[in-house]
Amino acid sequence: MGKLLILCLSFSILSFALPIDSQLTIKILETTKSGKTIFLNRGSADGLNVGDHAKLFVTEAIVARAVLIKNNTQTSIWSVYRMVNPDLVINDAVLKLKITPEVKLSKNPYSMLARESITGLNVLSGSGDDYSVYSDLLDDRDYSKTVGEEIVSKDAIRSPRLERNFKKRFLEIWSHIGFHYFTSEVSSGDNFSGTEFFSRISGGLEIYIGRWFSLAPQFTYMQDSVLTFDGSVTDSILYEYGGALNIYPFTSPHDAYKLIPYLHGGAAIGSIVDSLAPGTLGGATSTSSTTTDASGTSFAYFAGLGLKYHFKSKLGVRMLLDVYRRLDTFSDLPASVGMAEWERARIGPRISFGFSYRF
């Protein structure tokens, strides 16, 4: 009776398997950095079984050959043993899958594919009993140079977070909220110096250029307000436009789930307006009718260190610490000042935090 039950169960499983040349439309949910392991949106509910071989293709062009190594009801993990077009083996790609016969055996020691134990591609040697060898595994690459690379591990099978790579997404939008601390100096016949602390909001694009560099055009809005002992108030508003060069000497900026440090430096120009409302001492009032405005231009340059982190959702977080120097030149001054031009230099550290989105 027990043998009959097992026989019936085996027959039912085999009867649900997809026949050779069956086709499915699939979507790549995840892929490793090498592209040799892919996570698909099809599983046992679609008739797929561990050990199935398949071609992945678009229209009539073959993309890759793979074997199913881990199966769930709605999803499956495949080991790619022949890569024809790696540019199409990317996250969210929609392809066709065609079931094919098992590839014929070969004696090449560098074309080992796990079959019984399902541990992925192994390029060491044919010493284990769990390996079968296939003649169709070799392509133009030298697999002997990839000894030790793990195609899929138990952790990768259990975790929904297979490693992602954003090298095909070279644009990123970002925003920062930051804080400045300045020492400042004013030259106007007499010299005045002091310290200031205020906030800023900035945003822009980051355009990645290969593995090492990116350009970051940006816009910044800054505002501070200082209240003095006699009730006078000085408001400053600055609109700044500029750009920066980011360098990534340690970690690729295209990786997800990694801390990415980078070097940052750039320059900016802007327009600034200072508004002074006098205090109450000596009979003066602080109403808007007595406000005095001075406007001009600014030039700034900055350099520092940054840190960013990308999630698989393409969202990211970032932090920047740099030194900022700016020269404000006021050329539109009130007549009461009696001067044609007034300069103010500022220098100090600033720190900012923000978010980004890769697309």
Q: Which residues belong to CATH 2.40.10.340 in the chain?
A: 17-158
User: Is 59 exposed, middle or buried (CB count within 10 Å of its CB: 0-12, 13-18, 19+)?
Assistant: exposed
Rounded alpha-carbon distances, angstroms, from residue 12 to 1, 8, 16, 53: 17, 6, 6, 20
Contact 329, 181 (CB under 8 A): no
Model confidence over 30-69: pLDDT tens digits? 888 777 889 999 999 898 998 889 999 987 788 888 888 8
The lowest-confidence range among 72-76, 117-121, 159-163, 334-338 is 117-121
Q: Which positions ≥6 away from 51 have C-beta within 8 Å?
A: 67, 68, 102, 115
Q: Which residues belong to CATH 2.40.160.20 in the chain?
A: 171-358
Alpha carbons 149 and 199: distance in angstroms, whole number: 48
Total-model pTM: 0.51
Alpha carbons 160 and 320: distance in angstroms, whole number: 30
> What pLDDT is stored for residue 143 in this prediction?
33
Superfamily of domain 17-158: Rod shape-determining protein MreC, domain 1 (2.40.10.340)
CATH of 171-358, one of 3.40.50.1820, 1.20.210.10, 3.40.50.1100, 2.40.160.20: 2.40.160.20
Contact 296, 272 (CB under 8 A): yes
How many CB atoms lie under 10 A from the CB of residue 330?
23
Pairing state of beta strands 259-277 and 292-310?
A: antiparallel
Model confidence over 190-242: pLDDT tens digits? 555 656 667 788 999 999 998 899 999 999 998 887 766 666 778 888 999 99
Token duo for residue 104: 């014929």
